[in-house]
Chains A and B, each alone.
Chain A
Amino acid sequence: MVNGYAPISLREALELMAAHKLTPYAGGTDLMIEEKREDSFLFLHKIPELKQVSDDGEYIRFGAACTFTELLEHSLTPALLKEALSRIAAPAIRDEGTIGGNIANGSAKADSALIFFVADAQLKLAGAGGERLLPIKDFYLGRKRLDRRPDELLVEVLLPKKWLGSYYYQKIGARKALAISRLSFAGLLTIEDGKIAHCATAFGAVSDVIIRRADIDAMLIGKTPAEGKAAKAAYLAAFNEAIIPIRGRVSAEYRKTVCLNLLGDFLERFGI
């Protein structure tokens, strides 16, 4: 085809990526907004390796070219991810848009990426030099800047299963459908044997990159809910300092206020 390739295996796709300057085309729903299309496209929809979903015990492994609709319909997709996916855009965009594209578009507003951040997901990239795994947090170097070499493809998202059951999720948009997040928040909190066994938070659409500060969340881990309550003011103050919002469609002040309100509401839901 002219200005594009539609390989039918991952191996063929990686050979093409190594030999040509190509833009990977997953769902196209972000890519096609741009009027200028200088590079040829590498179409990923025919590659079976990028469409698989499996459970290896520790991780649910999602092929990067799985569409939002496919994952909404899949029995292995955890409830938290389904909730976030169901709030993305509208059916026609969910039918084409993919998790890999959502991540590799490099935006802090990506609603599925927020869930992968809060869960500390790993990404698998493949290229001419072989495969590598990296935490999603390390993949983002800045707004629209990613740790991806031109020959590499994002092939798989590994979502750790362990702490996903007990969650809190909020997306703030201007309307129900077709809404770009003004702010999004996901939190995981598990209490086991009377102690906070796990606490993780992520803030989307606030800064250049989704904010995930495991070091601050660690302030609550190991504490009883009562001890957590005592540490709450210091925890909120630490996030107040850590969250440096950018001004975009909404003001930085609004973003910061809503972030802290949601964080407080998240803790209250779990009795902290």
Chain B
Amino acid sequence: MDDAIVFTLNGKQVRYAGSATARLLDVLREDYRLTGVKCGCREGECGACSVILDGRLANSCMVAMGRVDGGTVTTIEGYRETARFKALDEAYASVAAVQCGYCIPGMVLASECILAKNPHPSEAEIRVGISGNLCRCTGYNAIVKAIGIAAKEGEGLW
């Protein structure tokens, strides 16, 4: 019997033979070398480690490996290859929504989850959507603006 945890990681099926109680965050960074997944707090307070798990945003620091068995995980490295990323990338750049960048991988994946659920979000909905992703540089306004621009410029992608 195959004892490994099997899941889809950035579009490819992978088998993880380690502990089911290990943190997804640590496994992504250390075993799969996906260092775009950032570690800020390890307790679900900052959102820097956000990934998309089975189509929804998740803090990878609060997910044990057994939970992803049979599931789908997308990190910024996988998302980077999509047309939707390109629209967000350009929108963020157009209003200088990135300063130090540490929160940005999580922020971009949170942006994706906002737009996937609602391609035309209001400003209030955008703010709720990124409310678990802390940014200490920008003051959020540029990020909120960027998500609105991506929704407009990327019309039809979501």
- List residues of chain B with CB under 8 Å of any chain A CB: 3-5, 17-21, 23, 43-45, 47, 50, 53, 56-59, 61-67, 69-70, 110, 113, 128-129, 131-133
Main secondary structure of the interface of A (DSSP, over half): mixed
List chain B residues, Cβ under 8 A from A233.
Answer: none
- List residues of chain A with CB under 8 Å of any chain B CB: 1-6, 25, 28-29, 31-33, 37, 40-41, 43, 45-46, 69, 89-93, 95-96, 176-178
- Nearest neighbor of B113 in chain A, beta-carbon distance: A91
Indicate if the CB atoms of B64 and A41 lie closer than 8 Å: yes
Q: List 13 A-B contacts (CB under 8 A).
A: A1-B65, A1-B66, A2-B18, A2-B20, A4-B64, A5-B66, A32-B44, A33-B43, A91-B57, A92-B59, A93-B44, A95-B53, A96-B53
A91 to B4, CA, bound (A): 30
Contact of A1 among B5, B56, B129 (CB under 8 A): B5
Instruction: Given A25-B64, A92-B59, A93-B59, answer yes or no on A32-B132 (Cβ-Cβ < 8 Å).
Output: no
Indicate if the CB atoms of B21 and A6 lie closer than 8 Å: no
A270 to B128, CA, bound (A): 31
List chain B residues, Cβ under 8 A from A69.
Answer: 56
Indicate if the CB atoms of B128 and A41 lie closer than 8 Å: no
Contact of A178 among B20, B45, B61 (CB under 8 A): B45
- Nearest neighbor of B3 in chain A, beta-carbon distance: A1
Instruction: Given A91-B57, A178-B132, answer yes or no on A96-B69 (Cβ-Cβ < 8 Å).
Output: no
